[in-house]
Structure 1
Amino acid sequence: MHKSLICNIFLMLSLLAITAPAPPVLAQSSVKLIKSVDLPGYTGDFDHFAVDYDRNRLLLAAEDHGTVEVFDLKTSAHLRSIPGFGNPHSILARKGIPTLFITDSEKQMSTIRDADTLAKKKTVMLTPGADTAKYDAASNTLYVVTGGKDVEMKTANLEAVNPDSGDKKSMITFPDNHVEAMAFVEGDQRLFINLTQTNKLAVVDRTSMKVVNVWPVTAAQQNAMVAFDLAQHRLYVVCRQPGMVVVMNSDTGAIVDTQPAPLRADEVQYDADSHRLYVPGGEGYMGIYDTSDADHIKLVEKVTTAPGAKTGLLLPAMHRLFLAVSPGETKEMAKVLTYEVK
């Protein structure tokens, strides 16, 4: 090749290198994995987390293992495993209160426990199948889902309980054998609860303990989790078939938007202040959604986690998000993953 032609080619390549646009800078993730704690020897599924601020503890219900796992809240170090449960699901820990309330769906029944030692103080005789629960501090009421197909019942209940004594205040019975998670917020008497068998969302007045509305969730099936944004009048209902976030108007039940969600999700966490919705899924990633536009939420990030990482707890004040990795059917190592939330 002629020498001058070679020089011209090199000159053109040099100019292209100078003028070519720089590669796009990838946006930094809003969460950063800072700790992974292995839990060897665990099988089955984990369920819900709770925080005991008085004792600097993170608590995790190992439902299929029949234990409650205790971690250091600040370091995530695994401190000990407390046996003696059937299938523990939800844990209530309150500041300044020396007891815990732990729901249990097996014959061991729900219990009130010493918060220091987790020794049993009282057995609470709820309807069998006690599972998910949510606490209202203003009325000192714990709402517990009981009954259902797992205990061979054709109906399920929402039971209002005094968590100090275990006394039942009131109860609603639903004609569904599969009822999942609920949501409510301070300053609003409505409780929203998933009637998963019939693919509906029930609206309960907590003052009267009456069902005031039942809304169909038509965009997807197996509606299981729900978060409530009072300021924006929105419900974020997470369904499992297919994986989907269904956005509903909390005043009318109208569906205003949908977005894909991870499969096998078993938790939704919401920070209304930052307009961020977190949906961990058992298939191995977590969806993070921006809800700033109440009518058009956006999937802003898909964070690779681990197979079975489907339950979690968000602590916005600590900038922490904890995920429990359930071995389930995968036979993977059980873990607790700790993320810094930026």
Structure 2
Amino acid sequence: MRKLFVSRATTLVLLVLTATGSLYGQTRQPLSLVDTISMPNVKGRLDHLYVDVGSQRLFVAGLENGSVEVVDLKAAKWLRTIPGFQKPQGILFVPPLDKIYVASGDDGMVRVFSGKSFRLLDSIKLDRGANRVTYDWRKKLLYVGYGGKDAGQDYGEIAIIGAASDKVVATVQVDAHPAELLLGDSGEKLFAFIPLRNEIQVIDTLNRKVIATWPVSSKSPGDAALDESSQRLLIGTHTPPSMIVMNARTGGEVASLPTVEGMDGVYYDTTRKRGYVSGGRGFDVGSVFVYQQTGPDQYKNIGEVPTKAGAGTSFWSPELNRYYVAAPAHNGEQASILVFQPQP
């Protein structure tokens, strides 16, 4: 009897230790994969994403597929394809106007679609290289980056478009093609990231002119995020792969940490004070590097979460508390959206 009792007790202890380790052990990742949503017949590189929070839809730029893919997040299934693009990249959805904006790099167009019927409503002609799109919710203005070497120019441009009219109301010239555009909550400053010059240009949106140019210590700054609470810019760079943190008021660099190769997405989780950097574009592996902010100028890597080969771009939705990563088709596997939930 005593031998049986010891065996049972030992088994119970082992079960408790195993459960405790799985819950609180050091192997616990800051992001947990909760779903994988396949997108059939979507080939090649995937680019930017955007979430329609109200209807729980995800719009995905199928850059090499010439399409925009629509994913039903609530049902966790692919919904439909919007075809007919030439290198679709930047995507934005404006709920009050029920409009989807898609910037295409090869033909320099910004196409406007109905959010309900997906019918083409308008086309706005810019120039080749049309890419990033951001929006001023107060003034109802879109900012779209384009130009540079894609357009045969030694400078880049940012178009300012009235969302109600879908007309270009002004343009701002920058040093080269802008790979990323970030607008502060106040709408007074627009940050344009210029990979070719390894710099950030700060634009006064009221006067519509560049008021500062800040150098970045690593080469090819691209995707970035703005932490409004501490006024810090989290910047992904390619050479070397780094996550640079800069003071958004002064342009001073305050931190630099290694990051994932093939970086193609940077977001900031305000609730948890975390930065998410996704990458893997052009590589046989992909991952998300997660950084915990412990002070205004202090950051540490708390996890490297595996994704899939070539999975570069991503999107963080604080409203849905989900982080979405776009994985292209690879080795017989369909293209998919990896859905992650942050862990406390």
TM-score category (smaller protein): 0.7 to 0.9
Q: Is the 8 A contact 2:107 2:127 kept in 1?
A: no
Distance 2:132 2:232 in 1: 22
Distance 2:108 2:80 in 1: 21
Cross-structure match for 1:222: 220
Q: Which amino acid aligns with 1:230?
A: E
Q: Is the 8 A contact 1:270 1:278 kept in 2?
A: yes
Distance 1:171 1:99 in 2: 22
Q: Is the 8 A contact 1:54 1:96 kept in 2?
A: no
Residues 155 and 126 of structure 1, relative CA distance in 2, 3 Å threshold? same
Give the deviation of 1:322 after TM superposition: 0.8
Cross-structure match for 2:324: 322
Q: Is the 8 A contact 1:284 1:308 kept in 2?
A: yes
Q: Which amino acid aligns with 1:44?
A: G
Cross-structure match for 1:207: 206
Q: Which amino acid aligns with 1:262?
A: V
The structure that has the greater radius of gyration is 1
Of 46-55 and 290-299, more deviation after overlay is shown by: 46-55
Distance 2:255 2:288 in 1: 19
Please, which of 267, 270, 283 is the counterpart of residue 269 of structure 1? 267
Q: Which amino acid aligns with 2:215?
A: P
Q: Which amino acid aligns with 1:292?
A: T
Cross-structure match for 2:153: 153
TM-score by length of 2: 0.87
Distance 1:226 1:128 in 2: 22
Residues 212 and 93 of structure 1, relative CA distance in 2, 3 Å threshold? same
Structure 2 alignment gaps of length 5 or more? 1-16
Distance 2:108 2:126 in 1: 11
Please, which of 231, 242, 245 is the counterpart of residue 244 of structure 1? 242
Q: Can you list the C-alpha shifts for 1:50-102, whole angstroms capped at 9, x where unaligned?
A: 12234432111111111110111223300111111112112221223232221
Give the deviation of 1:241 after TM superposition: 1.0
Q: Can you list the C-alpha shifts for 1:287-334, whole angstroms capped at 9, x where unaligned?
A: 001123121211111101111111111112222111101348x88642
Give the deviation of 1:27 after TM superposition: 4.7
Of 81-90 and 198-207, more deviation after overlay is shown by: 81-90
Residues 36 and 135 of structure 1, relative CA distance in 2, 3 Å threshold? same
Distance 1:44 1:216 in 2: 33
Cross-structure match for 1:289: 291
Structure 1 alignment gaps of length 5 or more? 1-20
Of 247-256 and 183-192, more deviation after overlay is shown by: 183-192
Please, which of 205, 219, 233 is the counterpart of residue 231 of structure 2? 233
Distance 2:187 2:99 in 1: 27
1:97 equivalent in alignment to 2:97: yes
SS of 1:291's equivalent in the other structure is: strand
SS of 2:265's equivalent in the other structure is: coil
Distance 1:64 1:90 in 2: 14
TM-score by length of 1: 0.87
Report % sequence identity: 27
SS of 2:97's equivalent in the other structure is: coil
Cross-structure match for 1:6: none
Give the deviation of 1:248 after TM superposition: 1.0
Give the deviation of 1:163 after TM superposition: 2.3
Cross-structure match for 2:67: 67
Give the deviation of 1:108 after TM superposition: 7.2
SS of 2:313's equivalent in the other structure is: strand
Q: Which amino acid aligns with 2:130?
A: A
SS of 1:197's equivalent in the other structure is: helix
Q: What is the total number of aligned residue pairs between the two structures?
A: 319
- 4+ residue runs of structure 1 moved beyond 3 angstroms? 21-24, 53-56, 330-333
Distance 2:332 2:202 in 1: 39
Q: Is the 8 A contact 1:268 1:277 kept in 2?
A: yes
Of 43-52 and 62-71, more deviation after overlay is shown by: 43-52
Q: Which amino acid aligns with 2:203?
A: V
CA RMSD of aligned residues (A): 2.2
